[in-house]
Structure 1
Amino acid sequence: MKMSETPPWKALQEETGRIETRCPFCNSTNVDSSIPGLDPACMECGAVVTAPVEFDANLKDHEAEDGTTVPWSEYHSVTNSTEHQVACALEYLEELGTKLDVPTETHQYAAEVYAEGAIETLTSGRSTTLFIAACLTVAANECGSPIPASRIAQAAQVNSNSLRRVCRVLRQNLDVGTSPCPPRAYLADLARTLKLNESLIADADAIIDAIPSYHLSGKHPGAFAGAALYLAADGEVTQREVANATAVTTETIRLRVKECRECIKIQ
């Protein structure tokens, strides 16, 4: 649907000299613009109309790709509502990414995943908070700097099981993040979260190398990374702190630490 370069409401204003502002979110014309210097506000839904939309019933309707006629009022309302939803989603992605201190590459990739998901209508019926959390989880995995899903769920204040379900939907429909990351991929993020010296990452990596692949199968890779960092730190952090960083239980970390120690002894 190609839009005219001259907005129809502007053309109408030039022709009639009359402006009727309509809220782009709820379509109401009950918009208060009486306070000089402040943006108009919709009295029905409370939205701030930062870019006033002048509307008239005589505006020319638009023709959709399938040949059907879409009233200008309906088209413009939907367009602005979609733009508002995308803006809110990207704003929340920025907020969540900052909270988790994700790399710029991961943040950008998460935005791309969101865009692809929106195009495929995967956002329909799902909360923005949950969907963005899933996009960030998948993006972090795809960029090789995974963050435990449970930790993202905690930061986003969403249910971890619901988050994992949406992640599966993204992987199935967008073919992203399908391969699980190995434990060593979690080391940099966990070291940063635990405020450990980067030099410990190499020591933790050596511990992970000593773990046979059959020990890793079916177990949380982030928990093994946390256990390896705990051993490499040699008392700088507690198992509880590691558990909080990896978003698993302290008992899980204790078991992974025990397995790591046994593997090191074998070596």
Structure 2
Amino acid sequence: MTRIHKLRTKPTLLVVTSLAAMLAGLGARAESAHPDAVQVLVEQGVDIVDRFDAPGGMTGYVGTMQGRPVSFYLTSDKKHVVIGPMLSETGKNLTETNIRKSITGPQNEEAWSKLENSDWVRDGKESAPVVIYTFTDPNCPYCHRFREAAKPWIEAGRVQLRHVMVGILKQDSLPKAATILGAEDPESALHENQRSYENDGIAVDREVVSANHKRVTANNSLMSNLGLSATPSTFYKADDGTIAMKQGLPRPEELEDMMGSSQP
């Protein structure tokens, strides 16, 4: 009898213990859970990084999903979520500011320190107050156009572009980038490529390439490790002090923010 009694009570005790643990877990989960409309997104894979008070009595959220930043807004009744950017009455993208502050800003701060220690070519006065890093392929038409657009700020001494030379677009991109990096005067070589861009750019110096090609491949790896796939990819300090990044050719209306001032 004793043996049978033990066999019957032992499972019962296990069940009671398991139920107690489950109830405790559910209580903790309920206490820390987001509103249902937000929890749906969390269960779909959104990792919430920060939340903030948003206009109209809403609560804003920023997070990541599969490594990409996302943003959404919980309505004041806490029953609905609006996904996407929010614009002010003046057209300012409030969402972009919050994503930059909480997600891309810290990521770009880390990238900035890596760029400082990379192989780059200074373009502009060393004393220029604004420093901008840009990944540049010698054969990239958009890099060429970006440099032309930035020219007024560079010549006015306001901006120093630091070209992180890469070779990814054409077969001779790496040799050209190595020729520029390894030149006795890299800035002059960069300008030569800019001036002669329409005529196939700078002439490749094989001896210089042999001695400097690893510097370019290191920049290629840096660009890839930062998750970038387009040139130019440009890092600059935004007006709120955070580090911002622009892939591709900036639009004309973006240039003044990137350069830190109106066009000279």
The structure with more helix, counted as a fraction of residues: 1
How high is the TM-score relative to the length of structure 1?
0.28
Structure number with greater CO (CA < 8 Å, separation at least 6) is 2
Q: Which has the larger radius of gyration?
A: 2
Q: TM-score, normalised by structure 2?
A: 0.28
Is the strand fraction higher in 1 or 2?
Answer: 2
